Structure 1
Amino acid sequence: MDEADVTQPIRRSILETCYYGTAQFDGQVDGYKAAATEGEALDDFAFQVLNGAGDLLDLMHVIDPQNAPDWTKMTHEEAQFFVQSRGMCSALIKVLGAYEDIFMSHSSWFVYQATMRIYKHYNFNVQDKATAAKQISFSSYPGINMVMLQTTNNVFNTSLYQYVSSESLLAWQRVRVANMMAHDGKQWGQVFSLYNSGTYNNQYMILDLKKVHLKSSLDDGALYVVEQIPSLIVYEDVTQILRTGYWPSYNVPFFEIIYNKSGYPDFVAQHGTDYTYQLAPRAKIFRRDEGNVVDMKTMKKIMRYNDYKNDPYSEGDSCNAICCRGDLKHPKAGPFGCYDTKVSNYSMALSFQADIINGPTLGSGLPPFVWTGSYKQSHVGLPEKYAFDFLTTKPKFRKK
């Protein structure tokens, strides 16, 4: 029996589950049009762009390859800025020494114009056998007692874009389907790997809390990592690494085949070891400081960490930090970087709760970001100054 025969039933379930997302999308579009002022309603395509913003990072290069950045002609400074401005997110999963608790956190990186953040809790009354998770919370996607975190990898080998196909599902669609269908990390990878669009090429971390036994053990399959490039998706159980204390993620592929096919070796040969998995600035900072994480407070501290003026691993660069401040870069300052953080632990994740904060980090005595007159980017509806504290979010469908 070939692979097509084996995967046919799951392919049918994927397309059926995808229908739920499409139906919700249609409902949101119709609801917006019903409420919008006459003449100001957005069309369907605008909503597709909003949902597929991550996929567009790669689709732009597929559709218009002539305008794709040529890193081989970049100086070291230009290459660094290119990677930092495209690098999206830091993530950390940390388990305490005797497995007393496990923490998971994600800090998003992008343009500060995108700080109109929403933390969503969905409770779907779906009645079919293919649906494993009816309750889902964003941004870290708890599913059937699972947590999904994601960081973006670069594709320096642009020849891979020839494998991008329209006969596929975009990443945002496959993530949504995998979150609803998967019972464990392995199944999440299996579902996600079908209909690969080759766009929004990320590392996904699937933490299965059903296999985490506090003060006892981490069962095999507790942590699966999934990485995608055009034409290939790799997923493996990396629980053995997590058992040593932590799993970090910082926009460099973990799997050697993904790293090599993405073109990282050639990029490193030209621009240095800051782009390797072992010696990226955030890899060094996580390795040095993860032992300081002992509770929610210290987990928040490491995920908002930026001491670029004093930390030797930052080398004076405000984006060589767990939480980048692109507005403080010199000479290419701009409103981009790390703009939110979500932190949870074992008990909170089981209740779909997280402590969340919006806005660029204050790091170690850094000034709050302010939309001054020097910024020409539109920021309608956003706060002028970002100096917020963490708050706890929890869904109404969880009464306890």
Structure 2
Amino acid sequence: MLFSLRTEQLTKESYFGSYNIPYFKKMFDLTGGTERVRSFGAWFGYDTNPRALIIREQQSTISSLRDMYRVARYNDYKHDVLSRCPECRPPYSACNAIAARNDLNPADGWYPFRALGHRSHGATDAKITSYKLHKQLKFIAVSSPPHNTSRGLPPFRWSKFDLKVPHMGHPDLWTFPPVVHSWNHGGDGTTNDDD
């Protein structure tokens, strides 16, 4: 029964959204979701939080691996109406994106709850695959918070970050290009990276 419901949903919507909020009502309730929605509003709802709304809007633009990469790294918080936060000062949050960047929210801003504010939180990587790549045991990975200077999303720099977070071994400018990662399963049952 569960599989037929998911198949029906995939047939109807063409995707299954996952964004750190439990989908199943029992788990949603057990993890405090109903109480958070009651206390803080739609931001904590599975179907109503900004990431859900942005994914619902963006998923229809995906027709290639490049498109999937773009959507997985999407953050246009200063311009996307779905990233707006009328109660916030300024009236948006870089957390309201598929790939959050809370470091970009002003430390002196005002936010109705901590999750929307300036903090050490956000997307640090992305991993995607396609049917063709998965058959070859490959995926595309990128390590770094999303950036797009033309849209007001600067690359992440530790020297400009004002919160104390251990980052030994990281370069100051944390931007890396995507790589195709290939897995090789050895005869002894271990998995070895061959890149």
- Which digits, 9 at most, give the CA deviation of each residue in 1:38-95, with x for residues without a partner? xxxxxxxxxxxxxxxxxxxxxxxxxxxxxxxxxxxxxxxxxxxxxxxxxxxxxxxxxx
- Report the secondary structure of 2:83's partner residue: coil
Structure-2 change in CA distance of 1:263 and 1:350 (3 Å): same
Which of these residues, 2, 16, 20, is aligned with residue 247 of structure 1? 16
- Which digits, 9 at most, give the CA deviation of each residue in 1:299-344, with x for residues without a partner? 0000000000011111110011000002102334333210000010
User: 2:103 corresponds to which residue?
Assistant: 327
Between Structure 1 and Structure 2, the one with more strand by share is: 1
1:208-227 aligned at under 5 Å gives the runs: none
User: 1:115 corresponds to which residue?
Assistant: none
Residues 106 and 118 of structure 2 are in contact (CA less than 8 Å); yes or no, is this contact kept in structure 1?
yes
Structure-2 change in CA distance of 1:260 and 1:334 (3 Å): closer
**Which letter maps to 2:19?**
Y
User: 1:387 corresponds to which residue?
Assistant: 175
Report how many aligned residue pairs link the two structures.
165
Structure 2 Cα separation of the partners of residues 269 and 376 of structure 1? 33
User: 1:367 corresponds to which residue?
Assistant: 154
Residues 83 and 96 of structure 2 are in contact (CA less than 8 Å); yes or no, is this contact kept in structure 1?
yes
Structure 2 Cα separation of the partners of residues 396 and 257 of structure 1? 38
Structure 1 Cα separation of the partners of residues 180 and 152 of structure 2? 24
**Structure number with bigger Rg:** 1
1:313-352 aligned at under 5 Å gives the runs: 313-315=82-84, 316-331=92-107, 332-352=117-137
**Displacement, 1:397?**
4.8
- Report the secondary structure of 2:82's partner residue: coil
What's the RMSD between the two structures over aligned residues?
Answer: 2.1
Structure 1 Cα separation of the partners of residues 60 and 182 of structure 2? 28
TM-score, scaled relative to structure 1: 0.39
Q: Percent identity?
A: 30
- Report the secondary structure of 2:183's partner residue: coil
**Which letter maps to 1:321?**
A
Q: Which has the higher contact order (CA 8 A, sep 6+)?
A: 1
1:116-135 aligned at under 5 Å gives the runs: none
- Report the secondary structure of 2:16's partner residue: strand
- Structure 2, unpaired ranges of 5+: 85-91, 108-116, 187-193
User: 2:65 corresponds to which residue?
Assistant: 296
1:164-175 aligned at under 5 Å gives the runs: none
**Which letter maps to 1:319?**
C
**Displacement, 1:265?**
1.8
User: 1:217 corresponds to which residue?
Assistant: none
